[in-house]
Structure 1
Amino acid sequence: MVRRVINASLGTQLFLLQMVIVLMAVGGTAGVWVQHTRNQLAKQYQARALVIAESVAALPEVRRAFSAPRPELILQPIAMSVQRAAGADYVVIANRDQIRYTHPNVSLIGKRLSTDGSPVLRSGEPWTGVQTGTLGRSVRGKAPVFGADGRVIGLVSVGILEETVTEQLGDALPPLIWTVLGVLIAGSAAAALIARRVRRQTFGLEPREIAALLEQREGVLHGVKEGVLALDLTGRVTLVNDAARELLKLTEDPVGRSLAEIPLTERIRDVLSGGDPGEDRIVLRAGRVLVLNRTPVSVRGQHRGWVVTLRDRTELVRLARELDQASSATEALRAQAHEFANRMHTVVGLLELGEYEEATRYITRTTQAYSEFASDIRERVGDPTLAALLLAKSAEAAERGARLVVTADSDVAAGAVGDPQDAVLVVGNLVANALDALDGKGGTVEVHVRTDEEGLHIRVRDSGPGIMPELAEEVFRDGFTTKVAHSGPRGLGLALTRQTCRRRGGWVRVHNDGGAVFTALLPVPARTPTAPSETTDMHPADLK
C-alpha cells in the first residue's frame, strides 16, 4: 500500500497527503471537543449532585432522624423519594461512623460506605468528584449533616453514574458528526482543487520528471561554453552559469543581487539592463571581447524577465585584426603594383616616342623619390615593424586619394616601443580611423611618433570634419560606431586602442584642431605612468 502511494502521481500524492492533514485536524478537533464536552457535563452533574446532597442534608426531618432509635426507617423513604424526584442514581445518607442509613440496594443499609467520607466529616465542607462505588463509577456530590449544636453528625452522598453522562454526551454527538462530515467534504474538494492546480502549474510532470529536468537544466547550463545570465522584472539576477561567471570575472555569486550591486562596467550594465538595446552588443571585460544578446522571456504569454547570452569573440577579433593587417599590407602592395604599372606604362610610352633621355630621367626621379621617402621613414622610425606599417598606410592613403605625412620631429628609437604588436595595433587603428574620417574625399593624415623615457608618444591628425565635442568621450566606448555598414566586429578599434594603452599604463585622448587629433601614450613595459584626467572604465570604440 505504501509503495503504491509512493509510486502514485504527484496529484494523487498531494490529495492523499492533504486528506491525511484534514483528517488529523478534524479528528483532533473533534476529540478535543468531545473531551471538553464530557468534562463540562461531568462538572454540571457534580454541581447538580452537590445541590441535591446539600438540600437533603438541610432537611429538618433528616437531622431529627439521626437521634431516632432506627434512623434508616425514617431516612430510606426520604432518600428514595428525593432520588426519584431529582433523577439521581442513588442518595446515600450515613452517620459519623460512615454507616449507611439509606441505599438503593437495601441489603447494603447498615454497612460501611464503600468510599471514604472522612474528609467531609472532618472538615464539614462539601465535596465533588468522581469515584467508583458499589453501583459503579459515578460523579458525586457529598454534603455534611449538622446537628443542633452545629457539629457534623453525618453526610449525604448523591451520585449520578457515568453511563448517564455518556448517554447525554451521545445526544450531543450528531451535530458534531455532521460538522465533521461537512469539513471532510470541503477539505476533500479543496485538496482536489489544489492538486489540480499543482498539476497544471507543473505541466502534468511527476516529481521524478521534474528532478530529471532540473538535472538536465543544470547540466546544460553549466556545460555550454557560452555564458547565460537571467534577470527578473526587477533587474535581479536569477540564474548565471559557470561560463558567464568566467567571462564577466565574477568572484561572488550574483544570484539574487541587482545589477547595481555587481562589480561591472557601466557599458555592461547598459547592455544587461536594456539601456543599450539591440543584437550582438559588443563589450570589453578584462581584456576579452564579448558579444551580448538580451532576449525577453515569456511564460504562458506573460513577460517574466530576460535572458542574456554572452559569447567570447576575443580570438575572432584577434584573427580579424590580423586579417585586417594582412589586408592592409595586401592593399598597400596592390597600390604599389598599380602605381608601378602606371610608371611602367609611362616609361614604355617614352621609349616608343624615342625619348630615351627623358625615360632615363623619369626612372631616376621616381626611384629616388620612393627611396628617399622610405629612407626618411626608416631614419625617423627605428622599429622595423612600425616603419613597415607606416609605409603600407602611406600607400593605402595614396590609393584612397589622401596623403600620409610623417612629421619631421618623429623619432622612434629601435627597440624602444616594447611589444611591437601593441604599437602596430595603436598606430594602425588611429591611422585607419583618420583615413576613414576623410571619407574618400582626399586630405592629409599627419602622424607623429616619438619615444622617450616614458614610452611611445603618438599623435594622429586628420583634415576631416573632426569630432563633435559631446562625442569626445563617447567614441571611446566599446561598440560605438559612426559607420553605416556593420559587416564585421565594428566599434572595437579605439576600444582596443584604449585597452592596450591602459594595460601598459598609458592613455589615449581626442580633441579638435583643424580636424580630429588623437594623442596616445604607450609606455614601455618597465614604466607605467598614470594618465592625467583618465577614468578607469573601459568604454572606448572606434569611428567605424
Structure 2
Amino acid sequence: MRGKNKISLQFKVLSLISVLLLVIILLLAGIFSYILYVDSRTQAELLVLQTAKTISLMPELYEAIKEDNLEEIFRPIAEQVKDQANASNIVIENRERIIYSHSDLKLVGQRNSNHTNDQALIFGGSSSFEIDREQGRVIVGKVPIIADYSTYSQVIGTVSVEFLEKDLLYNLYKKIKFIIFASLGVFILGIIGGIYLTNNIRKDTLGLEPHEISSLFRERNAILSSIKEGIIAINERGLITMINLSASDMLNICEKHFINQHIHDILPNIKIDLVLETGQDIHNVELLLHDKMYIFNFIPIIEQEQVVEQVVGVVLSFRDKTELKKLIDTISEVRTYSEGLRAQTHEYANKLYLLSGLLQLEKYQDALDFINKESTIHHHQTKLLFNQIQDLNIQAILLGKLGRASEMKIHFEIDPESYVDPLPKHIGVTEIITIIGNLIDNAFESVIFQDKRNVSFSITNLGNEIIIEVTDSGKGLSKEQFDTLFAVGFSSKGENRGYGLYNVKRIVDALNGNIDVINGKEGGAIFTVFLPKGVK
C-alpha cells in the first residue's frame, strides 16, 4: 500500500537540518566558550598581577607599614581598589607571613600557614597561581613589597590580590548567554528554512512524497511496457525523454541510444514544432516509416504557472496502420456475416410460417410447389455465389443483401455472368464492404417506394480491372443530383445522411479507380466502379 509506514520528506529534511544545526551550533559554541574562558582566565591572571603591583607601589602602603597602622590608613584604599578591580580579596603580609590586611578581620594578625610567599619573599618575583579557599577556587596574583633604603632595597612583605573562579565563570556565562540566544535564533531560522524548502520541493513534485513518486514511476514503466501503441515523449526543445518498448520495436531502434537525441533523428518528417508553438492536439496523422504506414497522435504537455500556460513537451503515440486495418477488416467481416445471418433468419422464418399455414390448410400441392420454387432459387443463388464468386468477403456481402432484399420485398438479382477471383491484397475487407454495400443499399433505397423494385448486381475481373455494376429501377438522377452526387452530406433521405456515396468515391480514388454514373434507358441509375488489380 502506498504511503504505509513511510517517513515524509519534510520530516527527513527537518531532521537532517536540525541535527546539522545542533552539531554546528554546539561545536562553535563549545570552541567559542573555550576560547573565551581561556582569554578571560588570562585576563584575570594579568589583572590580579597588575593590581597587586599597583598596590605594592603605593606610597600610602609604605607609610601605613612604617607607622604600623595598616588597618586604619591603607584598608579603605584596599577596599576601594578591590571594588574597582572586582577582586574577592586583597591580602597584605610582612616578611614573617603575618597578615596585616584581609577581608576576613579574624585572620588579621595571624600567621599565614602556606608557603606561597616564598618566591616573592626570597627571590622578589611576582607570580600567579590557583588555590582553594572556603569560598571556592581562587586565582591569586602575588607581588613583593620592596622598600628602597637609598643604598639598598629590601622585601618587607607581599601583596596578594585574589579573584574567585566562580565570579569568572559567572561573567563568562553572561557572555555565553548571548551566544545561546543567537544560536537558538539560528536554529529556528534553519527550521523555518527547512519547512520552506520542503514545501517548495513538494510543490515541484505536485505534492507527492519521494516514495509515492518512485511508486508512480514503477507503475508508469509497467503501463508503458504493456501498451501496444508506440509512445515517445519529448521536451520543449524536441529532445527525446522517453521511448517505450513498443515504439522501439516498431521503429527498430535501441531506446538507450536515442534518449536526449532530437526527435527528427528518428522521425525526420513529423511537424512537431507546430504542436510546441500552438499547444494544439493533432490526431490521426499518417506517416510512412520503413515501408509501413503508421497513424500518429500528438498531445502537448502543458504546464500552468499562475494564469500562464506553457507547452513543456509533447507525447507522440502511434500504431501500425496495417494492424489497425486488419482489426477493422475483421470487425467489418463479422458484422457483414452477422447482418447476412440475421436477414436470412428473418426471411426463412417468414417462409416457414407460410409453409406451416399451407400445411394447416391442407394445401399440400401449393406447399410442394413453394418448396420446389425456393429450392430452385436457392440452388441457383448458391451455385452462382459459391462457384462464380470466389472471394469470401463478397460472398458474405451478397448473401446478406439477398436476405435484406427479401425482407424489403425487392427483387435482387445477381448477374449470371458474374465472376471474380479472390481480391488482391491491396483491396481490403473494409474497402470492398464500403463500395459494394453502399451501392446496393443506395439502390435499395431508390426503389423502395417504386412499383417495380428491381436491383441487379454484376461483378467481373476481366483484363486488368475489377468491374462492379449496380443497376436499379428507381427514378434515376437529375442533372443537379449528378453535380453533387459524391459531395459530403448528399442525400435524398433527409438530414444526417449522405455519407455512403462520399465514402465510396473516397475509397475508389484511394485505390486509383474510377466510378461512372448514368441513367438507364428504362429508368433508374447505373453505378459502375472500375478498380485496378495492381497497385499503381
TM-score by length of 1: 0.45
Task: Point out the structure with max Rg over C-alpha.
Answer: 2
TM-score by length of 2: 0.45
